[in-house]
């Protein structure tokens, strides 16, 4: 059961069915209420019409015994004393009117055409008295009536009328509610039968439509499972030809797989290059130590120290690259005086082979001082390695940017190689000596650090004829 309702198709079908069920039930109740109210209004209209018709005859002078009330319409006429003056034929019992009696009483004592009673008790009442008056308002109530042995529910309309003698009576006329109840019952039964069938249709259609819509998703899932099992990142998930969310999901998934494949390839190349770079100093150091162990007088201590230093630097570079690849960014963003950083770095290079000139102006950036010092050192090392006679370092502020330029007078960097030199373990043909050059990580580290500080690092031709490296960081 959990597996069935754990699917998107089942949840969508169930949700759609519940929503439609609630909407249909609410609509059905509203329809029944409107239908019931409309039929009751029709019954009231009929009862009012019948009551006013009888009241008009009484007001015109028709006697109570001469009203000739229709047996199909229950009518009761009650005076202000609660006495029943007239009822329709075959009316056997009544509730909800002015009196529970269905037996008319005799004329009230007093002056009349025959020496007593009201003028409206007998005959047509043709005399010279003024005509009676029918009230313009009516009241409604519910009750029951038994006519010729059959009992039913009725809505009663009550109309007050004054006869020609000035006697006030109330005419009660009823209209049956059987039609209203029959219509409401029929509509309710139809809804009770049709609602489950309609809900089944909604659930089935939702299930089928959702299944068809999610079929590409299942294909994506199967392919991703196969990729996970095979570890073959060159495979791609199928992309449907539609332009909906599923197609965008497939394209994004393939883009993610492509980025992951490229990342894994870079990682493999990095490991292979690192292993290759480590092999030479480790092999050289092992050879020297083995020779020193066999012939102590032949031990080249200075060479061993150089190899250890190379290993130390390479390990530090690899560790920094690993942290950068893991997404490490400068913490805090504390202010760093770039001009002071340049002075400190160049003050330590008094004995270098190539002298360094500096032109610095006060400017500050925000970032990690140690990482920015590493960038400056790598750029100066690279420039001194390729310079013929001098290196120039300049610091200035240009708008919202702090700009550091390092230029040399060497051979420069060919235009087609200016982006390639920032790749890891890349050394151009004229700088492949591991003794004079590095492992090919300095410029890659420098660019990664600058980018993570929100800046850029580019190379172009220097006025002196060599390479000009320009670092731009947001000033602050």
Residue 130, pLDDT score: 61
Report how far residue 421's alpha carbon sits from residue 440's, in angstroms, rounded to the nearest whole number: 8
Strands 364-366 and 356-360, sheet pairing = unpaired
Residue 4 has pLDDT above 60, yes or no: no
Cα–Cα distances (Å) from 90 to 74, 84, 122, 151, in that order, read 9, 15, 21, 12
- Is the confidence at residue 434, as pLDDT, over 50? no
**What is the pLDDT confidence band of residue 159, given thresholds at 50, 70 and 90?**
very high
According to the model, what pLDDT value does residue 442 have? 84
Note the pLDDT of residue 361.
93
- Asked whether the beta carbons of 359 and 393 are under 8 A apart, the reply is yes
Q: Once rounded to an integer, what is the mean pLDDT over residues 235-257?
A: 86
pLDDT in tens, 389-406: 889 999 999 999 999 999
Could you tell me which of 152, 183, 155 has the C-alpha nearest to residue 48? 155
Q: How confident is the model at residue 433 (pLDDT cuts 50, 70, 90)?
A: very low
Partners of 461 in the β-ladder: 467
- Report residue 431 as tokens: 């700088």
Which residue has 């000596």 as its token pair? 433
399 Cβ contact list (under 8 Å, min separation 6): none
For residues 311 and 289, give the distance between their C-alpha atoms in angstroms, rounded to a whole number: 15
Comparing CA positions, the residue from 156, 157, 159, 165 lying closest to residue 134 is: 159
CA-closest candidate to residue 372, choices 397, 344, 411, 410: 344
Write the CB contacts of 271 (distance below 8 Å, at least 6 apart in sequence).
none
Query: pLDDT digit string (tens) for 326-351?
Result: 766 666 568 899 999 999 988 888 77
Alpha-carbon separation of residue 227 from 215, 251, 461 (angstroms): 19, 16, 46
Question: CA-to-CA distance for 259 and 375, rounded, in angstroms?
Answer: 27
d(CA 180, CA 35): 8
| Distance set, CA 382 to CA 416, 444, 468 (Å) | 18, 12, 11
pTM of the model: 0.51
Of the ranges 121-125, 129-133, 147-151, 460-464, which one carries the lowest mean pLDDT score?
121-125
In the structure, what pLDDT confidence band is assigned to residue 427 with cuts at 50, 70 and 90? low
More confident residue, 331 or 131: 131
Domains, in order of start, for the chain = 1-232 (no CATH), 245-313 (1.10.287), 331-474 (3.30.565.10)
Q: Among 156, 127, 162, 164, which Cα is nearest to 55's?
A: 162
Which H helix or E strand runs over 209? helix 178-230
pLDDT at 120 > cutoff 80 = no
- Tell me the C-alpha distance between 67 and 87, whole Å: 9
Q: What percent of the chain is modeled with pLDDT above 90?
A: 28
Considering the chain, what is the average pLDDT of its residues? 83
Output the pLDDT for position 169: 93
166 sits in the region (left: phi over 0; alpha: psi -120 to 50; else beta) called: left
Q: Are 84 and 64 in contact (CB under 8 A)?
A: no
Whether the CB-CB separation of 151 and 145 falls below 8 Å is answered with yes
Question: Can you list the pairs that 35-40 forms with residues at least 24 positions away whose Cβ atoms lie under 8 Å?
Answer: 35/183, 35/184, 35/187, 36/180, 36/184, 39/177, 39/179, 39/180, 39/183, 39/184, 40/155, 40/177, 40/180
> What pLDDT, on the 0 to 100 scale, is given for residue 5?
52
Place 279 in a pLDDT band, splitting at 50, 70 and 90.
confident
Please write the tens of the pLDDT for every residue from 25-72: 999 899 999 988 899 999 999 999 999 999 999 998 888 888 888 777
Query: What six digits make up the tokens of 65?
Result: 């015994």
- Local confidence band at 432 (pLDDT 50, 70, 90 cut-offs): very low
pLDDT, tens digit (0-9, with 9 covering 90-100), for 178-235? 888 888 888 888 888 988 998 899 888 888 888 887 788 888 888 888 888 888 888 8
pLDDT range class, residue 430, cuts 50, 70, 90: very low
| Torsional sign, CA 247, 251, 252, 256 | positive
Question: What's the distance, Cα to Cα, between the start and end of the chain in Å?
Answer: 62
Enter the tokens of residue 398.
Answer: 């240009």
pLDDT tens readout for residues 73-115: 899 999 988 899 999 988 889 999 988 888 888 665 544 444 3
For 281-291, how does the pLDDT look when each residue is reduced to its tens digit (9 = 90+)? 788 788 888 88
């Amino acid at each position: 059961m959990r597996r069935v309702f754990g699917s998107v198709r089942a949840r969508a079908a169930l949700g759609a069915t519940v929503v439609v069920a609630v909407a249909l039930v609410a609509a059905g109740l509203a329809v029944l209420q409107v239908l019931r109210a409309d039929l009751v209004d029709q019954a009231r209209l009929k009862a009012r019409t019948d009551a006013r018709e009888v009241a008009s005859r009484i007001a015109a002078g028709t006697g109570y015994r001469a009203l000739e009330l229709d047996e199909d319409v229950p009518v009761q006429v009650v005076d202000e004393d609660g006495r029943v003056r007239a009822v329709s034929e075959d009316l056997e019992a009544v509730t909800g009117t002015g009196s529970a009696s269905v037996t008319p009483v005799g004329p009230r004592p007093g002056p009349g055409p025959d020496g007593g009673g009201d003028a409206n008790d007998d005959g047509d009442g043709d005399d010279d008295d003024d005509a009676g008056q029918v009230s313009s308002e009516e009241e409604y109530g519910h009750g029951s009536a038994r006519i010729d042995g059959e009992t039913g529910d009725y809505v009663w309309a009550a109309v007050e009328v004054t006869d020609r003698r000035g006697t006030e009576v109330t005419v009660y006329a009823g209209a049956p509610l059987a039609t209203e109840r029959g219509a409401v019952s029929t509509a309710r039964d139809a809804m009770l039968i049709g609602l489950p069938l309609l809900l089944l249709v909604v659930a089935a259609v939702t299930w089928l439509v959702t299944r068809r819509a999610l079929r590409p998703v299942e294909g994506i899932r199967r392919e991703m499972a196969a990729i996970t099992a095979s570890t073959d990142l060159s495979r791609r998930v199928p992309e449907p030809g539609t332009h909906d969310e599923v197609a965008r999901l497939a394209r994004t998934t393939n883009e993610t797989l492509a980025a992951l494949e490229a990342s894994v390839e870079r990682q493999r190349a990095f490991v292979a290059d690192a292993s290759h770079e480590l092999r030479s100093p480790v092999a050289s150091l092992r050879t020297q130590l083995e020779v020193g162990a066999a012939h102590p007088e032949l031990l080249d201590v200075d060479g061993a120290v150089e190899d250890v230093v190379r290993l130390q630097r390479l390990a530090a570079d690899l560790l920094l690259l690993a942290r950068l690849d893991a997404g490490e960014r400068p913490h805090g963003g504390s202010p760093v005086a770039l001009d002071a950083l340049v002075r400190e770095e160049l003050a330590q290079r008094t004995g270098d082979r190539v002298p360094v000139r500096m032109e610095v102006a006060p400017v500050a950036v925000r970032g990690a001082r140690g990482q920015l010092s590493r960038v400056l050192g790598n750029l100066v090392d690279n420039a001194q390695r390729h310079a013929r006679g001098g290196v120039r370092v300049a610091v200035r502020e240009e708008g919202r940017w702090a700009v550091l330029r390092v230029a040399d007078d060497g051979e420069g960097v060919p235009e087609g190689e200016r982006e390639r030199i920032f790749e890891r373990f890349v050394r151009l043909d004229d700088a492949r000596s591991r003794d004079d050059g590095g492992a090919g990580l300095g410029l890659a580290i420098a660019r990664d650090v600058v980018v993570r500080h929100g800046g850029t690092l580019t190379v172009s031709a220097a006025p002196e004829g060599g390479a000009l490296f320009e670092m731009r960081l947001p000033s602050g």
